[in-house]
Amino acid sequence: MKKTIICTKDNPLHIQISIEESLRIDELEVKGYLDGDDYELLTEMSGEKGCLKRLDLFGVTDSFPEPDLGSFYIDDKDLAIYPHSFVNSVRLEEIVFPNNLKGIGNESFINCENLVIDELPETVISIGNNSFQNCPKLKTVFVSNTFETGFRLGGQFPEREFAGSVENYDSEYKKWPLTPKGEETYRDYSGREHFVIDGVLFWEQDWCWWLTLEKYPAMNRRTTYEVPIETTAAYYEKDVTVSPLEIRTHAFCGCKYLKTLILRDCALESCAICDCPALETIIFKGCAYGKTVSSFDIFWSNVITNCPNLKDIYLYAEDPRAVPYEIFKDLENIGDIVLHVPCFCADKYRNHGIKYIKQKPFCNRIPPEPESEDDILYIKEWRRFKRIEEFDPMDFLESIE
């Protein structure tokens, strides 16, 4: 059944249509006004009990202001999809968004297993957390490279908005602006620029002096991904190199097919790599071929979590003091993982002790200084790995196909 309904505040959708009729409609066009009860009805119509496949909201011009949209920078008068709308709308295959849509609320469209969206309106400036989580038929998401347009949340993406959904990202800015020889082509401008390399979303900003890997497309079918050299060898000014590539929180989240991840000179945020069921190997490489000491760093601990099939981690650092152990300490399956370090370095890792001061009662909230060596513990935390093996870094000079 196909139907078009014009709604007003005095005569909203949920008044005009009965529950029995709503569950028989497979195509619906709505114009005018929508409120929270209307979104609740649309969610039920497109769920398991209903049969709504195509929903056209292009003509919706007004909605009752929701007190907490879950989307920042949205005024009360701006048009937005209500939070928690269309959760588990497994029947929904196509939605036409309102013409002047500004925001999409938290946790809307979760588990819409058959939903396909070609593009969002350019008017959308904010998407709430988890909005399109587990929507496996989303193919390519287009990201505008301007500050004013595109779906933004305070200049950055929410942490898990597209977890387990997107195959590729696309943008107007196809690649980092380097010549084939790696020479600088950087142009001075204000604001953040999103760009895409091989379907992976990055951004850069002239004042921050480093690049950010924002989102890896979780449903991309490649099994191996190596951070491109273009993002780590770029120059902002003559003789001044860019800082290590920042890997954002949940950048690699819900990656269904990814088995091998190769990083070079990366600053990892908390939960940067999480919920990757197929991930088996992580290789931390240096910033240039042949370099055997990595300079990667972290912002927080708990960097790699919930990767149950992770079996091997390769470090290019010859000295364990160059590596913050906090990256690995919260790995739930660390006892099943083999740590690979450069030749002649295994004993350094096995015997390296992390210094801890024995706790003693103290007052004024100021811990006492250790009085002697008896007050200090040296915990050999690297031995928590299943075992520590050596490898020749020259084996990985070429990119892994």
Mean pLDDT in runs of 10 for the chain (401 residues)? 93 93 94 94 95 96 69 70 93 94 86 86 76 84 50 44 78 55 45 77 66 88 88 49 73 92 84 92 68 55 89 90 80 94 93 68 54 67 94 69 47
In a domain, 96, yes or no: yes
Burial class for 141, CB neighbours closer than 10 Å (0-12, 13-18, 19+): buried
pLDDT of residue 153: 37
Question: Are β-strands 200-205 and 211-215 bridged in parallel, bridged antiparallel, or unpaired?
Answer: antiparallel
Running DSSP on this structure, what letter comes out for residue 43? H
Q: Tokens 């520590």 label which residue? A: 388
In a domain, 401, yes or no: no
Give CA–CA dist 205/190, Å, rounded.
7
The CATH number linked to 205 is 3.80.10.10
In a domain, 95, yes or no: yes
Residue 325 CB partners (closer than 8 Å, separation 6+): 354, 381, 382
Burial class for 262, CB neighbours closer than 10 Å (0-12, 13-18, 19+): middle
pLDDT of residue 73: 59
Beta carbons of 96 and 57 less than 8 angstroms apart: yes
Residue 38 CB partners (closer than 8 Å, separation 6+): 7, 12, 13, 14, 30
In a domain, 215, yes or no: yes
* Structural domain span for residue 17: 2-396
In a domain, 337, yes or no: yes
Q: Which amino acid is at 384?
A: R
Beta carbons of 130 and 163 less than 8 angstroms apart: yes
CA angle 84, 82, 37 (to 5 degrees): 90
Give CA–CA dist 170/145, Å, rounded.
10
Helix then strand then coil, % of the chain, to nearest 5: 10, 30, 60
What's the number of domains the chain is made of? Answer: 1
Beta carbons of 85 and 106 less than 8 angstroms apart: no
Tell me if the pTM is above 0.95. Answer: no
In a domain, 296, yes or no: yes
pLDDT of residue 122: 73
Beta carbons of 391 and 314 less than 8 angstroms apart: yes
HSE-up of residue 163 (Cα within 13 Å, Cβ side): 26
pLDDT of residue 401: 47
